[in-house]
């Protein structure tokens, strides 16, 4: 397994812990922190279940990064982009990561609005089709005639028509069935489907569950220049409580930075909080993810989003016919809240 570089830029945490008036969090507050100040209750959804790739949120909580930011954070498992967006918009959660491309597709089609991205988690997309050796899938064209599973709102599934068009695949010859985040790998292991929608970092977990060699078809091989997961909140919270958003973002990114530098410890923290965790696979997922958080030693600061690059992503989707004209980076990203280089 290729071990990606773990070096990530240091993210400055906002030190102010004073509570900011406004809506967006829970109606009630939590107990006091170490300094005696009342902590603001916040609900955070993971991107997709409770795999190693999302361990950084548990690390931020375990290490006290959230508490130092004046926050009492409850972490719940998400169900992909299509599940996280409505939960955040409706106030069931205040924060969660979604795939930026998936967010663009949801917003551009009118399926969702009233949310904004405030930080990048991965600097390039990790979306992929995953299978195992023996299922007859080695190239994108091999997907024709196959049966794939994923959650209905996942970015892998929603972006598939664009991926198929650019990869020369007839999307009408591929059958999709519904699945849930935590059971997809078991479905693949049982042979009920030929492949599943997955992030590339899921490779070690797939192999642990299926006991077979994983085969992945990364979307980034066909669709370049797309960001991966970004942290979102509602427009209402971003407008009414921007300082709380900055504090949360800083604490979460500090957890991400720590996790990538201490993958084994991060996996152990996840295991203490999530019973079904395979710590070896979880640590391997984090090691793979490091190359997507700070790709190629580019010097990109943790959490930053570049307007020009987002515009190029939008143009790619428009040319592929996946996105209507008129979308701009500012419609989906609050650049005033995004960490600065």
Per the prediction, the chain carries an average pLDDT of 88
Task: Give the model confidence (pLDDT) of 231-244 as tens digits.
Answer: 999 999 999 999 99
Asked if residue 333 lies in contact with residue 305, where contact means CB atoms within 8 angstroms, the answer is yes
In angstroms, what is the C-alpha Rg of the chain?
A: 19
pTM of the model: 0.81
Question: What DSSP designation does 340 have?
Answer: P
Looking at residue 297, its pLDDT comes to 47
Whether 40-124+227-331 and 127-221 share one fold: the answer is yes
Q: What is the pLDDT of residue 42?
A: 98
Phi first, then psi: what are they for 118, rounded to 5°? -125, -5
Alpha helix ranges (H) inside 193-278: 203-210, 235-240, 242-261, 263-273
Contacts of 84 (CB under 8 A, 6+ apart): 45, 47, 78, 93, 96, 97, 98, 232
What is the average per-residue pLDDT within 25-33? 49
Taking the C-alpha atoms of residue 191 and residue 337, their distance in angstroms, rounded to an integer, is 45
Q: Specify the pLDDT at position 17.
A: 29
- Please give the average per-residue pLDDT across 320-327, as a whole number: 88
Class of the 40-124+227-331 domain?
alpha beta
pLDDT at position 32 = 61
3-state secondary structure (DSSP) of residue 321: coil
**Which token pair is 133?**
């050796």
Strands 229-234 and 214-218: unpaired
- The model's pLDDT over 179-210, given as tens digits with 9 standing for 90+, comes to 988 899 999 999 999 999 999 999 999 999 99
**What is the model's pLDDT at position 89?**
97
Q: How many CB atoms lie within 10 A of CB 209?
A: 19
Return the higher-pLDDT residue of 155 and 16. Answer: 155
Domain locations in the chain as residue ranges: 40-124+227-331, 127-221
* 206-223 tens-digit pLDDT: 999 999 999 999 999 998
Pairing of strands 38-45, 48-49: unpaired
> Residue 259: how many CB atoms within 10 A of its CB?
32
Nearest residue to 285 via CA among 308, 256, 326 = 256
Homologous superfamily assigned to 127-221: Periplasmic binding protein-like II (3.40.190.10)
Q: How many percent of the chain have pLDDT more than 70? A: 88
């Amino acid at each position: 397994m290729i071990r990606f570089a773990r070096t990530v830029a240091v993210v400055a945490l906002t030190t102010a812990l004073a509570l900011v008036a406004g809506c967006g969090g829970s109606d009630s507050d939590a107990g006091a922190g170490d300094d005696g100040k009342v902590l603001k209750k916040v609900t955070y959804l993971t991107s997709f279940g409770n795999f190693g790739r999302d361990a950084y949120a548990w690390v931020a909580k375990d290490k006290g990064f959230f508490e130092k930011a004046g926050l009492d954070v409850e972490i719940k498992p998400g169900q992909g982009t299509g599940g996280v967006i409505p939960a955040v918009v409706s106030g069931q959660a205040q924060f969660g990561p979604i795939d930026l491309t998936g967010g663009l597709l949801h917003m551009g089609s009118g399926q969702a609005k009233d949310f904004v991205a405030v930080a990048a988690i991965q600097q390039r997309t990790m979306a992929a089709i995953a299978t195992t050796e023996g299922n007859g899938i080695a190239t994108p064209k091999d997907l024709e005639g196959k049966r794939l599973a994923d959650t209905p709102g996942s970015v892998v599934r929603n972006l598939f028509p664009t991926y198929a068009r650019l990869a020369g695949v007839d999307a009408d010859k591929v059958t999709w069935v519904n699945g849930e985040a935590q059971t997809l790998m078991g479905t693949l292991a049982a042979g009920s489907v030929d492949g599943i929608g997955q992030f590339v970092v899921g490779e070690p977990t797939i192999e642990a569950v299926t006991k077979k060699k994983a085969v992945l078809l990364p979307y980034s091989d066909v669709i370049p220049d797309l960001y991966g997961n970004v942290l979102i909140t509602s427009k209402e919270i971003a407008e009414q409580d921007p300082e709380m958003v900055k504090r949360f973002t800083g604490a979460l990114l500090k957890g991400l930075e720590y996790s990538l530098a201490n993958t084994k410890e991060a996996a152990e923290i996840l295991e203490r909080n999530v019973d079904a965790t395979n710590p070896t696979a979880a640590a391997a997922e984090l090691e793979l993810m490091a190359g997507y958080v700070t790709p190629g030693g580019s010097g990109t600061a943790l959490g930053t989003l570049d307007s020009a690059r987002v515009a190029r992503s939008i143009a790619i989707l428009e040319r592929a016919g996946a996105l209507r004209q008129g979308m701009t980076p500012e419609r989906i990203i609050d650049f005033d809240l995004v960490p600065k280089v």
